Structure formats: C-alpha cells, structure tokens
Structure 1
Amino acid sequence: MDKISIIIPCFNDAKYVEQSVQSALDQTYSNKEVIIVDDGSNSETKKVLKNIESKVTKLITQDNQGQSTARNVGIKSAKGNYILVLDSDDFFEPSFCEKAIGMFLKNKDIKIVSCYANLLFENGSNKLYKPKGGTINEFLYANNSLGTAMFKKEDWSLSGGYDVEMRNGFEDWEFFIRLLKNGGEAIILKDALYTYRKRNDSTTNKANKVKYKILSYIYNKHSELYKNDYKRFVKHLLLLLEKEEKEKIKNLNRIEFKLGFSLLRPVRFIKRILF
C-alpha cells in the first residue's frame, strides 16, 4: 500500500484544529502519516497542538510565513507518495483517503482528487458545494476543485510546489494550474466527504478583497497559457466586467442608496454655494 501523508498547516486555530487532526487520524486507509505545521500560532493554539503532538507523526514549528510555505515545509518532510493537504479548521469523513487512492490506482492520468463539500457557515446554515474537476481548460478561469485535495508528491516536486509569494489567497488554484498545464485531470468524488467552514475571516474572503491584484499575478505568471486561449480569455474578462457593472447598477438602485442620496442633497447644495 502506498503511504499517504496528510499535511495540516495551522495558524491560530485552537478551536478547530483538534477536530481536523482527528479526522485525519480516523481515515480508514491505514498506511498514512499526519504532519502538522505550526505556522507561528498564538500561545493558545500552541497549547492545543502540544496536547495532541503524541497522536501525530510529526509537529513542525516555524515563524509565520504563510500557508504556501507551511504546506511546502510539511510536504518536504513527508514520506508518502501521495499528499493530502487539510486546512486546520475543516475535516474529512473517514473514507476519503481510501476512495481517493482508489481513483489514482485506476487511472495514471489523474493529478488531483477532491470531493463534494458541505459548506458550514458561521450562522449554522450549510450548503452542498459541487466542484466540477476537469483538465487545464476547466482550471484556467476558476478553481474547479477544493483547495483541500490529494495529489502525488512527485507531481508537487515537478511543479515547483506552492508559490510562497502568494500569501493573500488563491495559491491552491495557481498550484493546480501548474499541476495540470502539461496534461492530466482533476477528479471529484461525488460524495460530501469534506466539511468546509465558511468563516467571515477566512483566507478566501480576504482574497476576494484583493481579487483583481491576485488575478493579475496569475494571468501574468501563466501568460502563455492565456495567450494560447485568447478568445476564451477575452470572453472571460468581458463577463467579469459585465458582472461588475450589473452589481454596480444593483447597488445604485437599492433603497438605502437612494435614501442616503436624498438625505445628502442639502449638503451637496451648500457645498456648491460655498466652494
């Protein structure tokens, strides 16, 4: 049996990291190791990690350097042929590794295996998320896999690992582009085997605030891919512009905006007179 190395980067996740680690330990696939990378967490989180250190294969501690570096550090120390990255506030169902490794053994062209996810929001509501997977064509304009996914350590090494310059988000998507750009496919298990906490302060929410800066970085880094897909690239950009324009019109038509505009009318009138 090939060994699976489950890598769990952790930064200030005292509340959830124990559940995340336990979901890795509870995987029915037996030949596995669990590696935690403490990326400069606070004292409360360090205390939790110290309490569970004896349960895992390895606990690596470093100064805060970001998720990409933490993942790379963990993967470098991994002994498994297969890597599964797991966020420290999320968790898997016990059968994920067994089902994922089965997909790799069936088809050598598979580069990524992920699954459907149960999105768990802070207000207690939930929603089923169904990424589509696919080849590089399906990944050029969106991440069609969960960031939490399994891949071969060899492919990670050949691709150059996670981009340590990307500390504001979307680093998993950019990594998948490099995994797939020379061929291969991402497969999605059609079962909700992962629970993803949608927190208000999540990396994804922070990334969306600087989305266009990150997109510019990705488009320029992989400019040849986008040049070779010119027609779809232009169509994609125009759709983005159209979406933004519709959102702007929607905001302008909101009652709150109209009310605020009316209330500020006297102020604007006085401003014109005085200045």
Structure 2
Amino acid sequence: MAGDCRLRRVIVAVPAPLVSIIVPAFNAERFVARALRSALGQAYPNLEIIVIDDGSTDRTAEIVRSCSDPRIRLVVQANRGQAAARNHGIRLSAGKYVTFLDADDAYLPAKVERQVAFLEATPGFQGAFCDAAHFYSRDPRTLLGRRRGRGSGDFFRDLLHGSMINPNTLMLAGDLVRNGFLFREDRYYPEEWELCLRLARAGVRVGHQDEALVVVELREDSNTAMEIQWRLKRHTLEMFERLFAGMPEDERRARHAKAVLRSCRRKLAFACLVARDPAGSIAVTAEMIPRPLGTILRGVLRVVPPAPVRAIGGRAWRLRQRLGFYRIETPAVVQAWARVLGDGAGG
C-alpha cells in the first residue's frame, strides 16, 4: 500500500480525463435513485455512468430511464450476476479511469475528484482505493467506520489476511481492466478480493486514500446474507488453495500459507452453522473443514435442532460485525452524507 495518501482538494487540470462509473443493478428500485443522485452529485464533472440492469423484474430500469442527465447510459442484460454486470460495463467503458458503484450504495461528492487527483499526481500507480463509511438500514444518518490496522505496507500480504477493499472504493486505470483484469463471474464468489489479489500479484501499484469517500448500506437482518455465507467462505478457501498451489514452496512458507488456509477453514465451519441447512452445508464442505471440527459440529447438530443453532450463530456473527465498527463524527463526512440523503441537515 502507498501509506497515507490523503489529499486536500486538488484542482485537476483541464481537460479532465473521462471517468467511467459502472453501476450493476438487480431489483434495486428502492436504492438506485440514491446511487445515481450520488454519482451525478460528484464535484468531478467529466463522467460516463453506465448502469447495467442485470435482469431486474422490478422498476429499476424505469427509474434509471427517468434520469435525464446525458451522462447516464442504461444497458439491460439477462440475469448473470453482479460480477458479470460489472464486466459488461467495463467492456463498454471509455474512461481513462474506471470505478464501481453498487446500486444500493453511494458516493460522497468528492470521491471521484480525490481519486483522479491522486492517480494523476502519482503516475506510477494504476489504482487507488479509499475507506468506506457504513450505515444500518434502520438508522441511515449514523455513519460507521470499520476498525482495522494500519496495514503492513505490503499490499499482497495484507490481502492474504482479509478482504480490505470494498469494490465501491476502488478506481483503476481503464486500459488495465479492459485488457484483462476483469472480475471472476462465479456466483457467491469474493470476486473483488480475487481481483485485488491478482492485481497485487502482478505488481500493479494501488494506493490507499485514508478517508471515507463511499457509503455502504448494511441490512442487518438479511436472511439471504446469512444463508450464502458458507458458499462465500467455501469459495474463499478454494481461491486461496488455487493461489498457493501456484507458488513455489519457499514462497508458500514465507506467506504463511498453512495458517491462512487454517483460518479459512475455521470461518467456513462457523458459516455452516448459520446456513439454512447446517447439516447439509457441513456435508458439502466435509473435505474442507478440519476433521475434528467437523466431528464436533455434526455432534452438536445431532443433539441441538438446527434452528436454534442457526439463530445463536447468526446473533454471534452480527455482534462481531457491530463490534468491528466505530461511529464516524467527522463533520465534513457527516454533512456530505446529509446532502446525498437530501435532507438539508448538512447545511
């Protein structure tokens, strides 16, 4: 990572490079207007906003079409998943830089301007990512930051220990992504994590901007999110197994491959407990979970019905998530978010 790349407001030279914002959207009628409002509200004007409607069955396309700004382009495709929608947008893009905005999230007004300024000022870098603020659906005006360490300075090493880059925070050189660095399109796959690992492994320099420029919505009681956790964790384990299999033995040792894989297996075992069918999930992942742990889990499920196990596990997972946050009270961030919400509270 590039250390603290916080920049004050920078006036980008004219003509400013075109930036492509890729917005994948599936049944996003409740959120997509907010996302587009945040994109159109950027201090940086030279944008193309490519919305890929991924086979929505609600009013998503209608709402996008109602936006008259000529920078917005709507493309409708059959449902293929979020990663495929992002890739479709990348292939259609023309920007010097490409960035991403999920339809249920939002940018703060300085997001694109700050990242373009950083990349234009540091030509050795082909990407940048910022921090993200979060909020729970029930309380949209309370912004939360994620607690994390400062990082080791080794982008690849840090990625081995966590998916630290939300795709909304990432801006990449357009030619880089259009020429091969696309998202893996498997469903329920940590595609943004896998992409960042490939970028780091290839020596692509990606800088970190230590400020929240993106806002991500959290739906705390989403059953769907809980039910797919075991699939996400299984695919994460498979991702790292493939990664380490391609390394020479001395590099695997240096990267602590065994410890990384053990951690993945423990997380997979826990995720099985909060799945809709814990016993079935454990059976499917039996070869991946350490045998003693799998034996313990199956023993628990023989004694305790799946429903309370799932409920307790889900509460523990949500508690751990909440404990990882702190409240953001930075006036500039809070006021910028108020303006995105459109409530005037930011002055």
Give the TM-score band, short-chain normalised: 0.7 to 0.9
Equivalent residue letter for 2:35: S
2:253 is aligned to 230
Q: Is the 8 A contact 1:159 1:178 kept in 2?
A: no
Q: Is the 8 A contact 2:125 2:204 kept in 1?
A: yes
Relative to structure 1, the CA distance from residue 206 to residue 2 in structure 2 (aligned partners, 3 Å threshold; closer, same or farther) is: farther
2:52 to 27, 37, 47: 37
Alignment deviations for residues 22-79 of structure 1 (CA, whole Å, 9 cap, x no partner): 1111111122111111000113223212212655431101110111110111111111
Which structure is higher in strand share? Answer: 1
TM-superposed deviation, 1:235: 1.9
Structure 1 residue 169 corresponds to structure 2 residue 192: no
Alignment deviations for residues 82-121 of structure 1 (CA, whole Å, 9 cap, x no partner): 0011100111111111111121123233233222221111
1:266 is aligned to none
Deviates more, 1:220-229 or 1:62-71: 220-229
Q: CA RMSD for the aligned pairs?
A: 3.1
CA distance in 2, matches of 1:202, 1:114: 29
> Which of 1 and 2 has greater Rg?
1
Q: Is the 8 A contact 2:188 2:232 kept in 1?
A: no
TM-superposed deviation, 1:189: 1.9
SS in 2 for 1:41: coil
Structure 1 residue 210 corresponds to structure 2 residue 231: yes
TM-superposed deviation, 1:245: 8.6
| Residues matched between the structures, number | 253
Alignment deviations for residues 233-274 of structure 1 (CA, whole Å, 9 cap, x no partner): 11223345667899999xx9xxxx9xx79xxxxxxxxxxxxx
1:16 to 11, 21, 31: 31
Q: TM-score, normalised by structure 2?
A: 0.64
Relative to structure 1, the CA distance from residue 36 to residue 225 in structure 2 (aligned partners, 3 Å threshold; closer, same or farther) is: farther
CA distance in 1, matches of 2:21, 2:269: 43
Q: Is the 8 A contact 1:117 1:195 kept in 2?
A: yes
1:61 is aligned to 76
1:127 to 141, 144, 149: 144
TM-superposed deviation, 1:137: 1.9
Relative to structure 1, the CA distance from residue 205 to residue 119 in structure 2 (aligned partners, 3 Å threshold; closer, same or farther) is: farther
Equivalent residue letter for 2:72: T
TM-superposed deviation, 1:147: 1.6
Relative to structure 1, the CA distance from residue 110 to residue 130 in structure 2 (aligned partners, 3 Å threshold; closer, same or farther) is: farther
CA distance in 1, matches of 2:28, 2:212: 23
